[in-house]
Amino acid sequence: MSRIGVFVCHCGENISRTVDVERVAAEIGKLPGVALATDYKYMCSDPGQGLLKKAIAEHRLDGLVVAACSPRMHEKTFRNAAKAAGLNPFLCEMANIREHCSWVHEDREEATAKAIDIVRLMVERVKKDKALQPITVPITKRALVIGGGIAGIQAALDIADCGHQVLLVEREPSIGGHMAQLSETFPTLDCSQCIMTPKMVDVANHPNITLHTWSEIENVDGYIGNFQVTIRKKARSVDMDKCTGCGVCMAKCPQKKIKSTFDRGLGTRPAIYVPFPQAVPNTPVIDRENCTYFKSGKCGVCAKVCGPGAVDYDQQDELITEPVGAIVVATGFELYTINEKPKGSPIKGYGEFGHGTIPDVIDGMTFERLASASGPTGGKILRPSDGREPKQVVFVQCVGSRAREKGISYCSKVCCMYTAKHTMLYKHKVHDGQAYVFFMDARTPGKSYDEFWRRAVEEEEAVYIRGMVSRLYQKGDKIVVMGSDISVGVQVEIEADLVVLATAVQPRQGADALAQKLGISYDTYNFYSEAHAKLKPVECATAGIYLAGACQGPKDIPDTVSQASAAAAKVMTLFSRDQLEREPIVARVNERNCVACFYCKKVCPYGAVEEKEIRDRQGNLVRVVAYVNPGVCGGCGTCQATCPSKSVELEGYTDEQVMAMIEAL
Amino acid sequence: MNSTAQKLETSTPIDTSCYADVTDAIRKEAARILADGTVTAVVGYKAGRRAGTTMPAIVTDPAEAGGLIFSPACVNNLALYLTKAKKDVVKKGRIAIVAKGCDMRALAGLMGESQIKREEIFIIGVVCAGVKGSGAVNSEPLTTGNLARKCRECTVRTPEGADLVAGTMPSLPELTPVEALEMARLEAMTPAERWAFWKEQFSRCVRCMACRQVCPFCYCEQCLCDKNRPQAVESTPRPAGNMAWHIVRAMHLAGRCAGCAECERVCPMEIPLNLLNRKMALEMKELYGFEAGLAPQEKGPLSSYKEDDDQSFIK
Ligand SMILES: Cc1cc2nc3c(=O)[nH]c(=O)nc-3n(C[C@H](O)[C@H](O)[C@H](O)COP(=O)(O)OP(=O)(O)OC[C@H]3O[C@@H](n4cnc5c(N)ncnc54)[C@H](O)[C@@H]3O)c2cc1C
Ligand code: SF4
Ligand code: SF4
Ligand code: SF4
Ligand code: SF4
């Protein structure tokens, strides 16, 4: 006969308000095998745990049920207490009578009856619990960082500086991300390139960082401490080892007129290119879609002019598989466009702004390129249509953002600040120009941020109009901006030379597909979800995977860098140990019953199932059965549900236990 | 809907001249591969004790190959002998098996489930004009009247993927479908009617487990329905346990059973088991475009996940 102790918690009043905890204890005390059933105000408190420990010794308990909150909250707490009192921690289970009962019911009578049922089920389960020993697995002290924007760069440098190997995977030909495109940065107006490029060079030179640019994540297997990642190294068509970065190929390539994405279509580049002169690595790639050689088999100029013979048209994509122990996801953002969206997309474009057909209506990032000293205009503000200097520029904030009817209800966080920055940059370059800003309100929380915004308004004479723009259209060489000024309640119409839209910050296209490969969750917009909005802002719910930068939500550079360093600190904490203790909630095969159909192997999402040969003493093969590698098993139970002969079971959740629970109902 | 072959009004004879050629070819091939050591045993059919019947036979001596036959009475799906009974068939070496097109589908399924390895078997495929349905008189020749129902709609008369195919197909008279009509009747029922229909059918089950015994896919050595610690399915023939057994059976065979109809043939209570199997197969086809047994599968639709899988059932 078992000697089970049951402890019913009041949780202050959280449980006792709706559930008659004394009655639950009294009823459960009558069950066979229950040696003690009692209630207490706060089981998780120090005295509460003390009560539990004392009872284990006094009543010689061989199993515990703590009827309280969710096991996600306190299972560890009580298992540790049990362990401290000399009881195997896996003989202690929680019955959730808070989230599953008191919080969701009002009727005291019914809630109490349900609480009794819940506790009774757990008593039956504990009766059949077995003492389990934790599993230890080694940690691969090597990190993967996905995305080489400022977030990924910062995280990679921090981890590498701590002495660990880092793989940095970037899908573009160069690292740098959006920050490399910016002109000057709020709130100090220092040159973005000047603070960014040294960090990029540090990455390239760091002995602990292996950089894979022009690469993407193909597949991720494994679990915390022991991931296996497959990286697709896209064919660059240039041998990284041979290329000296001299740039002769780019100068000689006859295809010169390809729109540069880095310059937001304002400048051009050849078919063999680096996205910008300070690119890291400084090795070009061939854009096979636009290269004459790949299109028609003729040309081959770059290969001819390349001194070291680095150009290689036959290069193929290469797949490499690398073991890593932790992953930092830093894939950043992209900007919303006002263009027409595909049918069925929850996000709408702006037909009233011409759906992107008016050439002098540009977005903020395009303005950054115009204002950048290394940009296509050499830092002169010239409008795209005719190259003239615009004398009246209208900036429109919250395009896409905070517009539920357009499909996005969140605030993009950086637009108020960068629009203020844009008005200043404009004023500094076009002294006789006038900037207007349509805005809902100015959101400037951040060190020196409000001061920065006030400077734009008060010293740099930007005219801020509180209101929305209802329509934009081309009239001659002007763009008519129709809006309202709600502070005085009038309609306004401005004939502008250039319109700059502060379009919403969105997750990358395909962010969801990457999340599915990684097994992490994401919100309705596809921003990656942190494990806890307040207390775990950089961890994913999936152990061993961390978030940094704008892929988790719109962020400015200081916030991005802070989060990246925080994610790096989490990785370093993990790497400070040699072994990871894992819960022994893993599947085990009954080798006598297994008929080797290997359905378990087919369905196991962790790849934990192997084929095991059983041989007799002479070494003859007797039979083949399934074997679950406990270090790899994630304890999901999929195999248990699939096995036709019920030959594989999850420890702690055996069929016998589950059936006993059902029968107790 | 019962499993005895329905007497159709017109009963045209079926040309069974090919069966003699097939028999000949099986004997020659069996003798050859046993003699030259290609295989250690041949699983086939031999004449039964009563005239006009056949029974499964396991031949290990080339001299006995002459006893092998193929006739419209060769109803058994011999694939069964390569799984749970395999240990009794032969201890070592490669085994040959005589397989009709429908039996081939079971072999393909078993290969996908690691129960047999293609290189460990030698398949003597046979062309098949059809076998007799249960209830057919032994002495009668094969006609459109006594043909097994599954054979009326057969799409695999010439097996594919065998090591050799014995015989050539004769031309067949027009065959009116029976199974398709039954399925249409089942489909036309409301869910409540269908439930009542199956409840009535399963209430007759005596739990003799003949259906399980004959099924090539029920190869578990310890069936979960026989377990008593914990007991998931009541083992006595009472309504709740019967329903549970038949649901387990249908679910475990979904996406695997290719419709050899052996279960239905052996059921003493004439429960239309293959109708349920076919209904499950239809679901598999409609939901995933999948048909069991057409080729050995690494993963079937029920053991794999694809992003474009139909999710409409989640409401
Ligand atoms: C117009 C504009 C002006 C701004 N001005 C300022 C300013 O003045 N001051 C300020 O503090 N902030 C400013 N910001 C905000 C700033 O740009 C962001 O905070 C910062 O760029 C976020 O960095 P990140 O690394 O998270 O993302 P990103 O810069 O977007 O970098 C992400 C990187 O990941 C790569 N990547 C994406 N997907 C994958 C994948 N699947 N596999 C591999 N690699 C991938 C991308 O190619 C990219 O290199 C501005 C933003 C905008 C839009
Ligand atoms: S699913 Fe079950 S019977 Fe099949 S191999 Fe796995 S444990 Fe064995
Ligand atoms: S419980 Fe089973 S399916 Fe899940 S990870 Fe473990 S072995 Fe794989
Ligand atoms: S369930 Fe019946 S029809 Fe299907 S494979 Fe088994 S015996 Fe044949
Ligand atoms: S053969 Fe028929 S009676 Fe026997 S267990 Fe199967 S369904 Fe029931």
The domain spans of chain B are: 4-166, 178-303
Tell me the average pLDDT across A275-299: 95
| pLDDT given at position B9 | 47
Asked if A598 has any chain B CB less than 8 Å from its own CB, the reply is yes
Q: Which of residues 90-129 of B touch A (CB under 8 A)?
A: 113-115
| pLDDT given at position B88 | 63
Cross-chain residue pair A593–B222, CB shorter than 8 Å: yes
In the predicted model, what is the mean pLDDT of chain A?
95
Cross-chain residue pair B113–A656, CB shorter than 8 Å: no
Tell me the average pLDDT across A507-526: 93
CB contacts of B221 in chain A (<8 Å) are 593, 595, 645
| pLDDT given at position B2 | 44
First-to-final CA distance of chain B: 34
Cross-chain residue pair A595–B231, CB shorter than 8 Å: no
Of A593, A642, A655, the CB nearest to B303: A642
Distance of CA B255 from the midpoint of ligand 3 (Å): 22
Distance of CA B116 to the CA centre of its chain: 17
Q: Pull the structure tokens for residue A493.
A: 């119409």
Amino acid at A154: Q
Q: Pull the structure tokens for residue B227.
A: 């377990």
Asked if B86 has any chain A CB less than 8 Å from its own CB, the reply is no
Instruction: Return phi, psi of residue A495, to 5°.
Output: -95, 110
Asked if A644 has any chain B CB less than 8 Å from its own CB, the reply is yes
Are the C-beta atoms of B68 and B44 separated by less than 8 Å?
Answer: yes
Nearest chain B residue (CA) to A655: B230
* A21 Cβ inside 6 Å of ligand 1: no
Query: A4-134: which CATH topology?
Result: Rossmann fold (3.40.50)
| pLDDT given at position A583 | 85
Burial B182-220 (b: 16+ CB within 10 A, else e): bbeebeeeeeeeeeebbeebbeebebeebbbebbbbbbb
Ligand 5 atom at shortest distance from the alpha carbon of B207: 5
Cross-chain residue pair B303–A593, CB shorter than 8 Å: no
Residue nearest atom 3 of ligand 5, based on CA coordinates: B205
Q: Which CATH architecture has domain A136-234+317-332+523-578?
A: 3-Layer(bba) Sandwich (3.50)
Q: Pull the structure tokens for residue A549.
A: 């930068």
Are the C-beta atoms of B159 and B165 separated by less than 8 Å?
Answer: yes
The domain spans of chain A are: 4-134, 136-234+317-332+523-578, 238-314, 335-506, 587-663
| pLDDT given at position A433 | 96
Tell me the average pLDDT across B124-144: 91
Per the document, the length of chain B is 315
Cα angle for residues A257, A258, A260 (degrees, 5° grid): 120
Cross-chain residue pair B114–A624, CB shorter than 8 Å: yes
pLDDT tens, position by position, A556-570: 999 999 999 999 999
Q: CATH 1.10.3720.10: does it fit domain A587-663?
A: no
Distance of CA B204 from the midpoint of ligand 5 (Å): 9
Cross-chain residue pair A602–B303, CB shorter than 8 Å: yes
Ligand 2 pocket test, candidate residues A594, A603, A604, A629, most atoms within 8 A of CB? A594
Cross-chain residue pair B227–A646, CB shorter than 8 Å: yes
Nearest chain A residue (CA) to B112: A597
Distance of CA B303 from the midpoint of ligand 1 (Å): 40
* A507 Cβ inside 6 Å of ligand 1: no
* A587 Cβ inside 6 Å of ligand 2: no
pLDDT tens, position by position, A146-169: 999 999 999 999 999 999 999 999
Are the C-beta atoms of A608 and A640 separated by less than 8 Å?
Answer: no
DSSP characters over chain B: --SSPP--SS--B---THHHHHHHHHHHHHHHHHHTTS-SEEEEEEE-SSTT-EEEEEE-SGGGGGGB---TT----GGGGGTTTHHHH-SSS-EEEEE-HHHHHHHHHHHHTTSS-GGGEEEEEE--S--BPTT--TTSPPBTTTB-HHHHT-S-SS-SS-SEEES-PPP------SHHHHHHHHHHS-HHHHHHHHHHHHHT-----HHHHH-TT---SS-GGG--TT-SS--SS-HHHHHHHHHHHHHHHTTT-----HHHHH-TT---HHHHHHHHHHHHHHHH---TTSS--SS-GGG---TTS--TT--
Q: List all residues 6 or more positions away from B107 whose beta carbon is below 8 Å from its beta carbon.
A: B79, B82, B97, B99, B116, B121, B123
Nearest chain A residue (CA) to B109: A597
Q: How many CB atoms lie under 10 A from the CB of residue B303?
A: 20
| pLDDT given at position B312 | 77
Nearest chain B residue (CA) to A603: B303
Cα angle for residues A653, A654, A659 (degrees, 5° grid): 100
Torsion of the alpha carbons at A326, A579, A534 and A73, rounded to the nearest 10? 130
pLDDT band at B84 (very low <50, low <70, confident <90, very high): low
Ligand with an atom nearest the CA of residue A419: 1
Asked if B221 has any chain A CB less than 8 Å from its own CB, the reply is yes
| pLDDT given at position A300 | 94
Burial B246-266 (b: 16+ CB within 10 A, else e): bebbbebbbbbbbbbbbbbbb
Cross-chain residue pair B220–A602, CB shorter than 8 Å: no
Q: Which of A264, A335, A345, A338 is nearest to A505 (CA)?
A: A335
CATH superfamily entry for domain A335-506: FAD/NAD(P)-binding domain (3.50.50.60)
Are the C-beta atoms of B311 and B41 separated by less than 8 Å?
Answer: no
% of chain A residues with pLDDT over 70: 100
Of A592, A603, A656, the CB nearest to B303: A603
Cross-chain residue pair A597–B113, CB shorter than 8 Å: yes
Q: Pull the structure tokens for residue B55.
A: 């029974």
DSSP tag of A227: E
pLDDT band at A625 (very low <50, low <70, confident <90, very high): very high
- Does pLDDT of A127 surpass 90? yes
Ligand 5 pocket test, candidate residues B200, B202, B208, B246, most atoms within 8 A of CB? B208
Q: List all residues 6 or more positions away from A222 whose beta carbon is below 8 Å from its beta carbon.
A: A228, A606, A607, A632
CB contacts of B113 in chain A (<8 Å) are 597-599
* 3-state SS assignment for residue A199: helix
ipTM value, please give it: 0.89
pLDDT tens, position by position, A420-438: 999 999 999 999 999 999 9
- Fold: same for A136-234+317-332+523-578 and A335-506: yes
Tell me the average pLDDT across B290-308: 83
pLDDT band at B1 (very low <50, low <70, confident <90, very high): very low
Tell me the average pLDDT across A442-466: 95
CB contacts of B232 in chain A (<8 Å) are 646, 655, 659
CA distances (Å), A624 to each of A12, B114, B223, in order? 55, 10, 18
| pLDDT given at position B241 | 93
pLDDT band at B267 (very low <50, low <70, confident <90, very high): very high
Torsion of the alpha carbons at B168, B174, B180 and B184, rounded to the nearest 10? 170
Distance of CA A655 from the midpoint of ligand 2 (Å): 15
- Does pLDDT of A303 surpass 80? yes
Are the C-beta atoms of A122 and A65 separated by less than 8 Å?
Answer: yes
Residue nearest atom 2 of ligand 2, based on CA coordinates: A643
The highest-confidence range among A420-429, B10-19, B134-143, by mean pLDDT, is A420-429
pLDDT tens, position by position, A44-96: 999 999 999 999 999 999 999 999 999 989 999 999 999 999 999 999 999 99
- Does pLDDT of B231 surpass 80? yes
pLDDT band at B90 (very low <50, low <70, confident <90, very high): low
| pLDDT given at position B87 | 60
* pTM for the model: 0.69
